[in-house]
């Protein structure tokens, strides 16, 4: 029996108007921790799944580990031996190729750098090598057109496929509390959300194929814009003689409140888990934010949408990246706006 869906007051599912279930269906797990073990769409019995996980970087490593913690058999592949060693320590089984990983898989999850990698891996190494009963889930952040192209290739070959990019960063990947934005056929969503459950706090069906990627790049454009606004306000507050910690106390409970303030405050102290307390090490790399903003601007150009703040955000993060800080957390751009880059070591 499936668990009831519970939405906290802050989620879009708890808003005054009911979302269209075909385009905004979501599932929250109270507490946000990984299920152990999850239920699969085959009666009420819990099942151990054969998971193939391709791409074990900063995000994929933690995600694969949570699948193993949930009791699944995880065949893990990456080009990096160090990543394979970490996966083995987390309970996964390292394998020597994509073909070996997917050969007998029930679910295939990919977490790859960019659209060309996704298209190449699916078209040349997964489709045709994996059983057609396997569920294909691409959790990379890529362009909408490539996501739809891969979906078409998978559909033509008889596979169920979803683009399912994530939000939450490396800490959520490690904790199993990511938010997934899914583009898929409506009939496949129940199976997809169950397969994602060990890694997820919230799973949303954004719409048909490509909609997950659209949701991700729009969401991260908001994040880039609000982080810049937060950093500019902190820099101004400091110049005006206002303690940035005191400003946090005010903004976190006033109309300036945002995720960038309350969860990821870019000044050390108020949010202990924020990268600002680690000299902007770890977290969400500036280069990755820049990649997402470029995807948003490319999509806006194709769609004829006006996104002036998104464009300005891309330009500023590109400057920060070109100055040598692409490996630092994106909230470190505060130091550039403060004129304090000499205080920020390059990665």
Q: Could you list the active site residues?
A: 216
Structure tokens at 170: 């490396």
- CB neighbour burial string for 162-175, b if at least 16 within 10 angstroms, e if fewer: bbbbbbbbbbbbbb
Going by C-beta distance under 8 Å and a sequence separation of 6 or more, which residues neighbour residue 22? 186, 205, 207
Helices (H) and strands (E) in the chain, counts: 14, 10
- The length of the chain is 347
Q: Where are the beta strands (DSSP E) in 190-286?
A: 200-207
First to last CA, the chain: 49
Q: What distances in angstroms separate CA 47 from CA 70, 76, 299, one per listed residue?
A: 10, 19, 40
Structure tokens at 232: 């500019």
Q: What distances in angstroms separate CA 239 from CA 244, 256, 330, one per listed residue?
A: 10, 18, 22
Q: Is the dihedral of CA 333, 169, 297, 22 positive or negative?
A: negative
Q: Where are the beta strands (DSSP E) in the chain?
A: 25-28, 50-54, 73-77, 93-94, 107-110, 135-138, 160-163, 166-167, 178-183, 200-207
Query: Which helix (DSSP H) or strand (DSSP E) does residue 275 occupy?
Result: none
Q: Quick check: 110 and 130 in contact, CB under 8 A?
A: no
Rounded to whole angstroms, the Cα distance separating 155 from 133 reads 12
């Amino acid at each position: 029996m499936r668990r009831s869906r519970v939405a906290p007051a802050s989620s879009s599912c708890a808003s005054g108007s009911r979302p269209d279930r075909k385009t905004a269906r979501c599932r929250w797990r109270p507490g946000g921790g990984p299920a152990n073990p999850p239920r699969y769409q085959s009666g009420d019995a819990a099942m151990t799944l054969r998971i193939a996980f391709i791409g074990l970087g900063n995000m994929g490593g933690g995600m694969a580990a949570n699948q193993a913690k949930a009791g699944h058999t995880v065949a893990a592949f990456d080009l990096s031996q160090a990543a394979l060693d970490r996966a083995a320590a987390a309970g996964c089984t390292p394998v020597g190729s994509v073909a070996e990983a997917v050969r007998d898989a029930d679910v295939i999850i990919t977490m790859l750098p960019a659209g060309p990698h996704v298209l190449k891996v699916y078209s040349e190494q997964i489709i045709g090598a994996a059983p057609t009963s396997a569920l294909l889930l691409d959790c990379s952040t890529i362009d909408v057109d490539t996501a739809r192209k891969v979906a078409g290739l998978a559909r033509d070959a008889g596979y169920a496929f979803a683009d399912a990019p994530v939000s939450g960063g490396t800490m959520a990947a490690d904790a199993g509390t990511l938010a997934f934005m899914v583009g898929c056929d409506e009939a496949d969503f129940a199976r997809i959300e169950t397969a994602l459950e060990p890694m997820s706090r919230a799973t949303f069906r954004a719409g048909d194929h490509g909609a997950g990627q659209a949701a991700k790049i729009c969401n991260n454009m908001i994040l880039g814009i609000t982080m810049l606004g937060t950093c500019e306000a902190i820099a101004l507050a400091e110049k005006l003689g206002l303690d940035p910690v005191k400003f946090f106390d005010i903004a976190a409970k006033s109309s300036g409140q945002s995720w960038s303030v309350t969860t990821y405050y870019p000044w050390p102290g108020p949010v202990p888990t924020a990268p600002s307390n680690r000299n902007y090490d770890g977290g969400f790399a500036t280069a990755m934010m820049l990649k997402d903003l470029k995807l948003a601007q490319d999509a806006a150009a194709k769609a004829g949408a006006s996104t002036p703040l998104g464009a300005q955000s891309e330009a500023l993060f590109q400057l920060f990246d070109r100055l040598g800080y692409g490996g630092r957390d994106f909230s470190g751009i505060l130091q550039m706006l403060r004129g304090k880059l000499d205080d920020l070591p390059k990665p």
